[in-house]
Copies of this chain bind each other. A is one copy, B any other.
């Protein structure tokens, strides 16, 4: 495992983000950016809590084209927001269904004279406030135009700072250790549920903050790759897939591994070679300037050559950072130009026989001269346990 980097970010990390957002706001002739989701609020303020799991209260941040961000939040969050670099914090006692922050938000917009506000409305974004409240806000400030500002957050969040990269690298290193140790943790005769719990506990003991995402499957044949564990007993000849999004200081890993128990059947071992080779093909062509579509094609070609019967996942990897999956997507049509500082997962997957799915996923960062591994490269031969 790598040495853990410092927790949190110094204020200048957030100041740089806001300055860049303000440059982009000026280009788009917008007066402000409005955000209300967990990653977006955290990205601009540093406000970081699992309390977002409660759907009750909305949280708002305005990044004006000039000046510092304003947090408009329920009073329960004030002590935490006070610890961040944000100094303009406006609160109300939520929940108040009849007016849950809408008036204070509208008053802020009006008093700042904001006329054109950008809001993330595009792919992979959500509006985390009740739709009725969104409509009420628009009615309360009828002269204000709200337009799509997805590109601002998308373009900014896709390119990671060195400080962000250090967090992702750390959690990927820790999870790599966990995967490499799996043979000593698991054995035939365990149930899926026991195996999942053992791995989760092992990752926590290695220093992970949390393992919010652990899915997988076991057996000779499976196609469901977003599944929670069952009480199925793992037997000789089984494959086991683990796909985990493990977190450290608010940054996620997302890579999966396949293991065989007792022995690996020839078809599965061959399929493992194909997806490993597809990953290798991606690694070999990745550099700033190529597109996600080029990357998709490099991996897809190897799998077609290797006898793929198709893939229902919809993409061959994606961005990674504060969330388990982020922009962009490695698809046939995505066409995002890959830049230095992007973190991607390479996730070739294919149905290699009827009812049998094989996935493989590595995490990398794009450097000036090509990819740098964040996950530790899996072996080409699928490991056999027991």
Asked if B131 contacts A125 (CB within 8 A), the reply is yes
Which A residues, 206 to 255, have Cβ-Cβ distances below 8 Å to chain B?
209-210, 212-215, 222-228, 231, 245
Asked if A121 contacts B126 (CB within 8 A), the reply is no
**A228 to B93 CA separation, bound complex (whole angstroms):** 22
Complex: chain B residue closest to A207, CB-CB: B197
Asked if A329 contacts B56 (CB within 8 A), the reply is yes
* Segment of A25-33, A73-81, A272-280 in the binding face: A73-81
Please tell me if A97 contacts chain B, counting CB pairs below 8 Å. Answer: yes
Asked if B312 contacts A228 (CB within 8 A), the reply is no
Asked if B93 contacts A314 (CB within 8 A), the reply is yes
Which A residues, 94 to 149, have Cβ-Cβ distances below 8 Å to chain B?
94-98, 100, 119, 121-132, 135, 148
A215 proximity list for chain B (CB < 8 A): 49-51
**A interface residue count range (under 10 / 10 to 19 / 20 to 34 / 35 or more):** 35 or more
Complex: chain B residue closest to A48, CB-CB: B228
A93 proximity list for chain B (CB < 8 A): 312, 314
Asked if B228 contacts A49 (CB within 8 A), the reply is yes
Q: List residues of A whose CB falls within 8 A of some B CB.
A: 7, 48-51, 53-57, 74-80, 83, 93-98, 100, 119, 121-132, 135, 148, 150, 197, 200-201, 204-205, 209-210, 212-215, 222-228, 231, 245, 312-315, 318, 323-326, 329, 331, 333
**A210 to B229 CA separation, bound complex (whole angstroms):** 12
Asked if A323 contacts B54 (CB within 8 A), the reply is yes
Asked if B130 contacts A76 (CB within 8 A), the reply is no
A78 proximity list for chain B (CB < 8 A): 312
Would you give 24 A-B contacts (Cβ < 8 Å), ordered by A?
A49-B215, A49-B226, A50-B214, A51-B213, A51-B226, A53-B213, A53-B324, A55-B125, A55-B325, A55-B326, A56-B123, A56-B124, A56-B325, A75-B312, A79-B223, A80-B224, A95-B123, A95-B315, A96-B314, A98-B333, A121-B131, A123-B130, A200-B204, A212-B212
Expressed in whole angstroms, the minimum distance between the Cβ of A378 and any Cβ of chain B is: 22
Asked if A127 contacts B131 (CB within 8 A), the reply is yes
Asked if A225 contacts B76 (CB within 8 A), the reply is yes
Complex: chain B residue closest to A202, CB-CB: B201
Asked if B314 contacts A76 (CB within 8 A), the reply is yes
Asked if A125 contacts B119 (CB within 8 A), the reply is no
Asked if A314 contacts B95 (CB within 8 A), the reply is yes
Complex: chain B residue closest to A323, CB-CB: B55
Contact of A130 among B49, B125, B333 (CB under 8 A): B125
Asked if A53 contacts B323 (CB within 8 A), the reply is yes
